[in-house]
Chain A
Amino acid sequence: GAVVSQHPSWVICKSGTSVKIECRSLDFQATTMFWYRQFPKQSLMLMATSNEGSKATYEQGVEKDKFLINHASLTLSTLTVTSAHPEDSSFYICSAEGGRAHYGYTFGSGTRLTVV
Chain B
Amino acid sequence: GENVEQHPSTLSVQEGDSAVIKCTYSDSASNYFPWYKQELGKRPQLIIDIRSNVGEKKDQRIAVTLNKTAKHFSLHITETQPEDSAVYFCAASNAGGTSYGKLTFGQGTILTVHP
Question: What is A's interface to B at a CB cutoff of 8 Å?
Answer: 31-32, 34, 42-46, 49, 91, 93, 95, 97, 99-100, 103-105, 107-110, 112
Contact = CB atoms under 8 A, between A and B. Distances in A.
B105 A43 contact: yes
Contact of A46 (B41, B99, B103): B103
Contact of A34 (B34, B98, B103): B103
Nearest to B106: A43
23 contacts: A31-B98, A32-B99, A34-B102, A42-B107, A43-B106, A43-B107, A43-B108, A45-B105, A46-B103, A46-B104, A93-B43, A97-B100, A100-B98, A103-B100, A105-B34, A105-B100, A107-B43, A107-B44, A108-B43, A109-B42, A110-B41, A110-B42, A112-B41
Contacts of A97: 99-100
Contacts of A45: 105
A12 to B, nearest CB: 15
A104 B101 CA distance: 9
Contact of A49 (B43, B102, B105, B107): B102
A94 to B, nearest CB: 9
Contact of A44 (B41, B98, B99, B105): B105
Contacts of A43: 89, 105-108
Interface string B74-113: 0000000000000001000000001110111111100000
A93 B36 CA distance: 14
Given A44-B89, A44-B105, A103 B98 contact: yes
Contact of A105 (B46, B89, B104): B46
Contacts of B104: 46
Nearest to A93: B43
B43 A46 contact: no
A97 B93 CA distance: 13
Nearest to B43: A107
